Structure 1
Amino acid sequence: MQAILTIEKHKAHIALDGVFTFEAHREFKAATMGALGNEGVEEIEIDFNAVEYIDSAALGMLLLLNERAGGRKIVLRNCTGTVRAVLDVANFGKIFEIR
């Protein structure tokens, strides 16, 4: 999986591409730490447009990001199909904004 970070003004955008499982933890952590390391970032948007599958390890990585964000807004975007179903079963809509 690839995690591509771009920062524009006060928003960090992380585009994920591939299968989001434990094997992706290094790429995901590098991208999210880059976003969290920028003091001007107020919102972190995770784009699932090119993700076909996520597992429980990915859910854990999202929860860790939420803890580390220090109150910054986290948005999960373009969640469809299996990805959306997994997020719904885990009640992630109560923790994150899902668009």
Structure 2
Amino acid sequence: MSVESVVSPDGKKLTIVIKGRFDFSSHQLFRDAYEPFYKAPDTYIVDLKDTTYLDSSALGMLLLLRDHAGGDESEVRVINSNSDVRKILAISNFDKLFDIN
């Protein structure tokens, strides 16, 4: 499991790429991917293209990211999720909190 963060050249977009299992073992890595930035980006993107598993602690981490980004006023997108991960997000009603595609 790995977590990588990539900031756009203008600093307005932060992409967090998660590879492998997204579970409690990745909690600190995930937080380290977005917390240290002095100026918060306008858009956060969580790329789940290579994510094979998502559990309830991962859902909690996504909520923490949303709060960090500004809550209801934030723009947090979840992209490239496979059908199993997308099903978990839908069952959890995360499609009402995040832009998921």
In the superposition, the TM-score normalised over structure 1's length comes to 0.91
Quick one: percent identity of the two aligned structures? 33
Give runs of aligned pairs for residues 15-94 of structure 1, distance below 5 A.
15-34=17-36, 37-39=37-39, 41-70=41-70, 71-94=73-96
For 2:20 and 2:35, how far apart are their aligned partners in 1? Answer: 20
Displacement after TM superposition at 1:38 (Å): 4.0
Q: Which runs of 4+ in 1 moved over 3 A?
A: none
Displacement after TM superposition at 1:15 (Å): 0.7
Unpaired runs of 5+ in structure 2?
none
Displacement after TM superposition at 1:80 (Å): 1.5
For 1:81 and 1:58, how far apart are their aligned partners in 2? Answer: 16
Query: Could you tell me which amino acid in structure 1 is paired with residue 78 of structure 2?
Result: L
How many matched pairs? 97
| Aligned CA distance change for structure 1 residues 38 and 78 (closer, same or farther; 3 Å) | farther
Which of 81, 91, 98 aligns to 1:96? It is 98
CA RMSD of aligned residues (A): 1.2
SS of structure 1 residue aligned to 2:7: strand
Q: Once structures 1 and 2 are overlaid, which stretch shifts more, 72-81 or 50-59?
A: 72-81
For 1:92 and 1:38, how far apart are their aligned partners in 2? Answer: 28
In the superposition, the TM-score normalised over structure 2's length comes to 0.90
Query: Could you tell me which amino acid in structure 1 is paired with residue 18 of structure 2?
Result: L
